[in-house]
Structure 1
Amino acid sequence: MRTLLNLVWLVLQGWVLALAYALAGVVACLLVVTIPFGIAAFRLAGFVVWPFGRTTVPAPEAGAASALGNVVWFVVAGWWLALIHVVSGIGFCLTVIGIPFGIASFKLAAVGLFPLGKRVVRTAAPRGWVHAGPDLVQAAPTR
């Protein structure tokens, strides 16, 4: 199911958002000082292409520099990336079928605002389901 959601997301919105994050990453990498912002933007570009089945968690090694960097990111790029997510999320939520995509877009808006100090990880499979490659399949019952 996650693969299907990710494929529909990729066709409808993921490629546009990935281009926006990649553009932000390229602009950030133009100066040596802002390369960490570029790396974060490229990491998020991969996340917005395939968001279902993954989430972000705080990185334990992130410190005060990440907090300061997030403030700079917010002013320079974060607010407009988050605005793209919020507008698309509202548009998705206008239909019943689009609600999962709207929720994913709102989740990505929060990540787009303050991306530094976060790590992208896979989400745990629901109870009774196992990972089989990129998909989840229902586990055989044990007796």
Structure 2
Amino acid sequence: MQPVSIFLNILWLLLGGVWMAAGWVLAAIIMAITIIGLPWARAAFNIAIYTLLPFGQRAVRRDLLTGQSDFGTGLFGLIGNLIWLVLAGWWLALGHLVTAVILAVTIIGIPFAWAHLKLAGIALWPIGRAIVPA
């Protein structure tokens, strides 16, 4: 990881990263309690780690990364993402949007607000995503 990414990740943790990563972990735990929610729990835990340290990483579609479709990127992934959107996705996206608006008020917070906006999009549609180094 680059020194700039390390510095930005430290600032990120202080400016809302811990708060939103905790929200992702809470959503993952709630999904994991129900056996049916295990696929969403796995995706939420992966994105919780990404939310904790977003700089130096990026989220990409798994089928574009591997070059082939799989269970999470096909029809079942679409259905799973729609269920996720109703159950937890919009809550997490709203949290990211509110945090982004608060951070965008200051000049220093603009890069962090932009990262929260990207995470809000992922919060709406997390299944079929892979986190890779940038």
Query: Could you state the TM-score of these two structures normalised by the residue count of structure 1?
Result: 0.84
CA distance in 2, matches of 1:33, 1:113: 19
**How far 1:78 moved relative to its partner?**
0.2
Structure 1 letter corresponding to 2:45: F
**How far 1:80 moved relative to its partner?**
0.6
Structure 1 residue ranges without an equivalent (≥5): 124-143
CA distance in 2, matches of 1:93, 1:17: 16
Larger-gyration structure (1/2): 1
The reply to whether residue 108 of structure 1 matches residue 119 of structure 2 is: yes
**How far 1:64 moved relative to its partner?**
0.9
Structure 1 letter corresponding to 2:38: I
Deviations 1:38-82 (A, max 9, x none): 111111110000001111111112211111000000000000100
Aligned to 1:58: 61
The reply to whether residue 87 of structure 1 matches residue 98 of structure 2 is: yes
Residue of structure 1 aligned with 2:48, choices 45, 48, 57: 45
Higher strand share: 1
**How far 1:31 moved relative to its partner?**
1.5
Aligned to 2:66: none
Deviations 1:74-122 (A, max 9, x none): 0000001000001111111111111000000001000011100110111
CA distance in 2, matches of 1:18, 1:57: 19
CA distance in 2, matches of 1:27, 1:40: 13
The alignment yields a C-alpha RMSD, in angstroms, of 0.8
The reply to whether residue 19 of structure 1 matches residue 30 of structure 2 is: no
CA distance in 2, matches of 1:92, 1:100: 9
* Partner secondary structure for residue 29 of structure 1: helix
Structure 1 letter corresponding to 2:6: T
**How far 1:6 moved relative to its partner?**
0.4
CA distance in 1, matches of 2:15, 2:108: 13
Structure 2 residue ranges without an equivalent (≥5): 64-69
Higher helix share: 2
**How far 1:5 moved relative to its partner?**
0.6
The reply to whether residue 96 of structure 1 matches residue 117 of structure 2 is: no
Aligned to 2:67: none
Aligned to 1:71: 82
